Amino acid sequence: MLKEERFNLILKAVEGRDAVSYEELLTMVDASGATLRRDVDQLCEAGRIRKVRGGVAPLMAAGRPLASYFFGVQAQRAAAAKEAIARRAVELVSTPDTLILYGGSTVARFAEMLPAVGLTVLTDSLPVANHLAFKTDNRVFLTGGEVLAQQGIVLSPFDDPPAFHVAASTFFIGCHAVGPAGIMEDDPLPLRAARALRRQAARLVVLADSTKFGEARSLVVFPLSEVDVFVTDEGISDSDRRMLEDAGVDVLIAPLDRDIRDEAPAEGAAVPSVPQEATDK
């Protein structure tokens, strides 16, 4: 059995469960105990699972928000495309202005390119807040709630955070998937928070690389008809671009720098070792 196949079996075994023993994993994979433990070590180093006594477990217990999303891992994927998208999106910003920046590795890269003065920013993103607060003279507000360090965001289960008094010109958001239904995620808590914050901005701008088209997610954050501008890279297909434009979305294409272009890992490919710290996003 190939390493990639073993990785996929291990990840599927822990999905939605509190833990899986090494003995159970050995019945699923065609490998020795030593090989299995090396596979587990690599998946742990890549931030995909964690070790527990006698076996392995998801990084978060079942039912915790955003169990499938980890900032440090996502930041390494399609990095050149995210760089290009961020650079293109900055053209939409002028000062003085008030913005809402919602989570995600592409939005975090975008924040690093914003003007150093003249902005008021509301964000749920710890990396965004950290950069803007310590490296610029912009005014920064964080949404209230629980700090999710691995995801690099703050989420509130409450209905009326004080930050809802902010009135912004533009809401910038990334996503995990794009399709005819809209921009999509898997977790209901960030979906609820995103829709609430959207009411505080006049314009919705989505920042997402072309690999997000065709991805499958179960929950629609915003239908395409609610998106004003979609910034993506030149890898977008003609059919996907038409899908957006037919919905009334203004599509901005960011050219990739051929010297640093990279591709997202193929589905089922061996997972690279990536640090988990939120500041790496």
Sign of CA dihedral 66, 271, 23, 27: positive
Domain boundaries 3-57, corresponding CATH code: 1.10.10.10
The ranges assigned to domains in the chain are 3-57, 72-254
Domain 72-254 has CATH 3.40.50.280: no
Give me the percent of the chain exceeding a pLDDT of 90. Answer: 41
Q: Tell me the pLDDT band of 176, cut-offs 50, 70 and 90.
A: confident
Q: Tell me the pLDDT band of 214, cut-offs 50, 70 and 90.
A: confident
* b/e code 156-165 from CB counts within 10 Å (16+ = b): beeeebebee
Cis peptide leading into 157, omega within 30 of 0?
no
Model confidence over 120-162: pLDDT tens digits?
999 988 889 989 989 999 998 888 766 666 666 776 655 555 5
Q: What average pLDDT does the chain have?
A: 81
pLDDT number for residue 234: 94
User: What pTM value is reported for the model?
Assistant: 0.65
- Distance from C-alpha of 189 to C-alpha of 211, rounded to nearest angstrom: 24
Q: Is the pLDDT of residue 204 over 80?
A: yes
